């Protein structure tokens, strides 16, 4: 059983996190300050330390030297995100923004603890072709593994294409782990999850006084990845202004903080990913054409789950085994469940399969998982490649009289299409009662493109 030390001064958060982790079979000690944490670290052996950044009498990063080889996960509010970047440079293993999602917290913990509790028995080349990174034996996955091995040994910029939920970030991590940069940090950024007004500051950093609220000089995520790898997920959502800065970084290998007149050389490998057609966006003026060709050095495509044939069942068995171990049950799939999984189109790909199985294991009252427990809708059609066509078809369907009642997704699509031309993303999310990240994920799932903008590119 893995042992974790929680350092958090807010009792409500500390208690809730402790309860969550105990429920998932972790052994927990908890304290409310750096001073109280140090004796615990000296007297006990932990697999992970989870600490708030701001604590009474000190900061959570002060625990890093006392933790020695134990990874330290820093919790921070979004307003302190730049401080979290500094925390990584001081030696923190990772950071997570508050308020955090339970699944996100558990995934981060699993990622940080796993390397410390299992000694590798395979070489790095064997690791990617095995089950630790990319599960599956279909020809498309085998070919993808071969390309990962080849590209990992180079310094080439990589563009990963594929639908949401197909494992693009997993491919990026495989490349980093197999490269000579594996000892250095890999910084992952979801370009769609950061507000447009902050994206340049997040990536490139800023000088004190560069804008309202810039009280101190901060390093950006690119600088935090110096010597390692920067993974930009959903790069198609990057604003044009930030694209111009990113292009200079790729061409010259240097960055300039917002508000600074000086540039700094950095050594960072870029891996980008998107589910969108960047070439078409470039032709429409929505993505810089010069940046597209700079990214298009090496292209890798992650196959959708419906293209992977027998891998669906192979992955389902792997996920079921993981969930049975996690929830201490012994459950199998019924023949009807196997048939249902083979027939489903899996618009959410591997992520949808994983979530469906976890839900089924939790709800199961017998020793077999039935189709009803999976909660799959076999009437769902395969996703249309063109997101704009999907949105247009959806909008047309909304305008027509509908005999049955609207679902929540129908209402969501209707509201976004009717209001996105007069509201920004923040206002849309607030009106719908969701976060910006949730709004973005819903856009991807339902195929609703963001409103078009008239843009003139500098020549």
The structural architecture, per CATH, of the domain 307-374 is Orthogonal Bundle (1.10)
pLDDT at 136: 80
Question: Would you say the pTM of this structure is higher than 0.85?
Answer: no
pLDDT at 194: 83
Residues contacting residue 28 through CB under 8 Å, at least 6 positions apart: 3, 4, 5, 6, 18, 21, 22
Q: What is 3-117's CATH number?
A: 3.40.50.2300
The answer to whether domain 3-117 and domain 127-301 are alike in fold is yes
d(CA 176, CA 12): 38
Residues contacting residue 78 through CB under 8 Å, at least 6 positions apart: 97, 98
Domain boundaries, the chain: 3-117, 127-301, 307-374, 387-446
* Contact (Cβ atoms closer than 8 angstroms) between residue 200 and residue 245: yes
Full 3-state SS string of the chain = CCEEEEECCCHHHHHHHHHHHHHCCCEEEEECCHHHHHHHHHHCCCCEEEEECEECCEEHHHHHHHHCCCCEEEEEEHHHHHHHHHHHHCCCCEEEEECCCHHHHHHHHHHHHHHHHCCCCCCHHHHHHCCCCCCCCCHHHHHHHHHHHHHHCCCCCEEEECCCCCCHHHHHHHHHHHCCCCCCCEEEEEHHHCCCCCHHHHHHCECCCCCCCCCCCECCHHHHCCCCEEEEECHHHCCHHHHHHHHHHHHHCEECCECCCCCEECCCEEEEEECCCHHHHHHCCCCCHHHHHHHCCEEEECCCHHHCCCHHHHHHHHHHHHHHHHHCCCCEECHHHHHHHHHCCCCCHHHHHHHHHHHHHHHCCCCEECHHHHCCCCCCCCCCCCHHHHHHHHHHHHHCCCCCCCCHHHHHHHHHHHHCCCCCHHHHHHHHCCCHHHHHHHHHHHCCCCCCCCCCCCC
The structural architecture, per CATH, of the domain 127-301 is 3-Layer(aba) Sandwich (3.40)
pLDDT at 11: 87
pLDDT at 459: 40
Averages of pLDDT over each 10 residues, the chain, 459 residues: 89 88 90 90 89 86 85 73 66 78 83 52 39 70 89 91 91 91 89 83 85 79 91 91 90 87 90 92 91 89 91 91 89 92 90 91 90 80 46 39 47 78 80 73 73 47
Q: How many CA atoms lie within 13 A of 351 on its CB side?
A: 13
């Amino acid at each position: 059983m893995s042992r974790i030390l929680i350092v958090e001064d807010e009792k409500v958060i500390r208690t809730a996190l402790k309860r969550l982790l105990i429920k998932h079979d972790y052994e927990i000690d908890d304290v409310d300050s750096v001073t109280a944490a140090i004796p615990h670290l000296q007297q006990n052996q932990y697999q992970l330390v989870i600490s708030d950044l701001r604590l009474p009498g000190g900061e959570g990063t002060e625990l890093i030297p006392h933790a020695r080889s134990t990874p330290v996960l820093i919790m921070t509010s979004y307003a302190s995100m730049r401080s979290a970047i500094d925390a990584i440079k001081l030696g923190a293993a990772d950071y997570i923004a508050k308020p955090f999602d339970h699944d996100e917290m558990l995934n981060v913990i699993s990622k940080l603890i796993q390397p410390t509790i299992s000694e590798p028995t395979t070489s790095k080349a064997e690791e990617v072709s095995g089950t630790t990174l990319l599960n599956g034996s279909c020809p498309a996955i085998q070919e993808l593994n071969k390309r990962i091995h080849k590209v990992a040994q180079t310094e080439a910029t990589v563009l990963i294409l594929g639908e949401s939920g197909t494992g693009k970030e997993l491919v990026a991590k495989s490349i980093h782990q197999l490269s000579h940069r594996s000892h250095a940090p890999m910084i992952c950024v979801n370009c769609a999850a950061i507000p447009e007004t902050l994206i340049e500051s997040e990536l490139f950093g800023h000088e004190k006084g560069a804008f309202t609220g810039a009280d101190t000089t901060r390093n950006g995520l690119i600088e935090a990845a110096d010597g390692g790898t920067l993974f930009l997920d959903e790069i198609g959502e990057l604003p044009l202004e930030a694209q111009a800065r990113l292009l200079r970084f790729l061409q010259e290998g240097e960055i300039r903080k917002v508000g600074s007149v000086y540039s700094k050389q950095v050594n960072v490998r870029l891996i980008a990913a998107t589910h969108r057609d960047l070439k078409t966006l470039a032709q429409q003026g929505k993505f810089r054409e010069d940046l597209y060709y700079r990214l298009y050095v090496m292209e890798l495509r992650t196959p959708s789950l419906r293209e992977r044939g027998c891998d669906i069942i192979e992955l389902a068995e792997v996920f079921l085994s993981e969930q049975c171990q996690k929830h201490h049950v012994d459950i199998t799939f019924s023949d009807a469940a196997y048939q249902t999984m083979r027939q489903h189109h899996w618009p959410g790909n591997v992520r949808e399969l994983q979530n469906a199985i976890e839900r089924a294991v939790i709800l199961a009252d017998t020793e077999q998982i039935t189709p009803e427990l999976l909660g799959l809708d076999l009437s769902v059609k395969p996703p249309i490649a063109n997101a704009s066509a999907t949105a247009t078809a959806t909008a047309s369907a909304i305008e027509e009289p509908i005999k049955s009642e609207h679902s929540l997704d129908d209402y969501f699509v209707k509201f976004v299409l009717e209001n996105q031309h007069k509201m920004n993303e923040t206002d849309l999310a607030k009106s719908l009662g969701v976060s910006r990240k949730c709004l973005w994920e819903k856009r991807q799932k339902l195929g609703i493109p963001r409103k078009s903008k008239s843009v003139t590119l500098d020549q």
